[in-house]
Structure 1
Amino acid sequence: MTCPICAKPSDTRYRPFCSKRCADIDLGKWIRGDYAVPSEDPEDAERALDELDRPDGKPH
């Protein structure tokens, strides 16, 4: 198995990553929302727009 971030061989301590650095890069991508599943559900779009309109920008 290769690391999904840099394609080096994975290390069992950090599987599926090769190092803590690559694991941290992946975590950062999750936190930033880089990994998102697109939705075609109109309610999801409305909910996202409502959250953008909220003063604190947080979901209810």
Structure 2
Amino acid sequence: MADNEQPTRIYPCPQCRKPSRWDDNPWRPFCSERCKLIDLGDWASERHAIPGEPTDPMDDFDNLS
């Protein structure tokens, strides 16, 4: 390895845990488009959620005026 080269960074895919390259990976942090789409589907179906106080959807309409 030359002095100016960076070591290849390998991280586990958040979906399948398979080792995944960080550099030159169009799906990072995922290992593949498949894992990326599975994760997106989990968010869309609300299997993943960010903790917080529940809100009333009607509150959004109060701020429109």
What's the TM-score bracket when you normalise by the shorter of the two chains? 0.5 to 0.7
Is residue 13 from structure 1 mapped to residue 26 from structure 2 by the alignment? Answer: yes
**Superposition RMSD in Å:** 2.2
Q: Which segments of 5 or more consecutive residues in structure 1 lack a partner in the other structure?
A: 51-58
TM-score by length of 2: 0.56
Question: For 2:35, what is the secondary structure of its paired residue?
Answer: helix
Look up the match of 1:55.
none
- TM-superposed CA distance for 1:33, in Å, is 1.0
Task: Kindly name which structure, 1 or 2, has the bigger radius of gyration based on alpha carbons.
Answer: 2
TM-score by length of 1: 0.60
Question: For 1:10, what is the secondary structure of its paired residue?
Answer: strand
Q: Distance in 2 between matches of 1:40 and 1:23?
A: 28
How many aligned positions are there? 47
Q: Which segments of 5 or more consecutive residues in structure 2 lack a partner in the other structure?
A: 1-10
Structure (1 or 2) with the greater helix fraction = 1
Question: Aligned residues: percent identity?
Answer: 45
